[in-house]
């Protein structure tokens, strides 16, 4: 068993599960979506992206692309959250939270695609 592959898969699956944990709940209710879980999902997604650099295979390129999409969605959600909390006078409204959760949902789909690709790659590996 390769330690590198275990750590790589761990971060990909952890990014998915953290994002899923944040995503679950009423879309417009801020009480159902923890900011620390969102931050953890963003950090782990960024770590998973860094780990995908250097793989020169076609599936590696697709894995990197899905990770970059997830990062973009989560960073956009973090920007919206920061603007709502610190710039806009209205603060965190249900509409703003719905936007953040929607962006997280896009990242969730990208993370799910990464996990599916990881499983496909695992099945295709020949010993």
Q: Domain coordinates of the chain in residue numbers? A: 3-124
What is the rounded CA–CA span in Å between residue 37 and residue 4?
25
pLDDT digits (tens, 9 = 90+) for 70-106: 999 999 999 999 999 898 888 888 999 999 999 999 9
What is the rounded CA–CA span in Å between residue 92 and residue 52?
34
Residue 53 gets the label, from left (phi > 0), alpha (psi -120 to 50) or beta, of beta
**Tokens at 76, concatenated:** 């956009």
pLDDT value at 126 more than 70: no
């Amino acid at each position: 068993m390769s330690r590198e592959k275990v750590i790589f898969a761990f971060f990909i699956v952890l990014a998915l599960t953290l994002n899923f944990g944040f995503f679950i709940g009423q879309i417009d209710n801020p009480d159902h979506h923890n900011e620390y879980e969102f931050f953890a999902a963003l950090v782990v997604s960024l770590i998973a992206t860094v780990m995908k650099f250097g793989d020169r295979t076609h599936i590696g390129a697709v894995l990197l692309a899905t990770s970059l999409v997830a990062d973009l969605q989560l960073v956009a959600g973090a920007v919206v959250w920061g603007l709502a909390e610190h710039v806009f006078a209205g603060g965190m409204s249900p509409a703003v939270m719905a936007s953040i959760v929607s962006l997280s949902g896009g990242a969730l789909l990208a993370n799910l695609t990464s996990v599916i690709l990881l499983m496909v790659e695992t099945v295709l590996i020949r010993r």
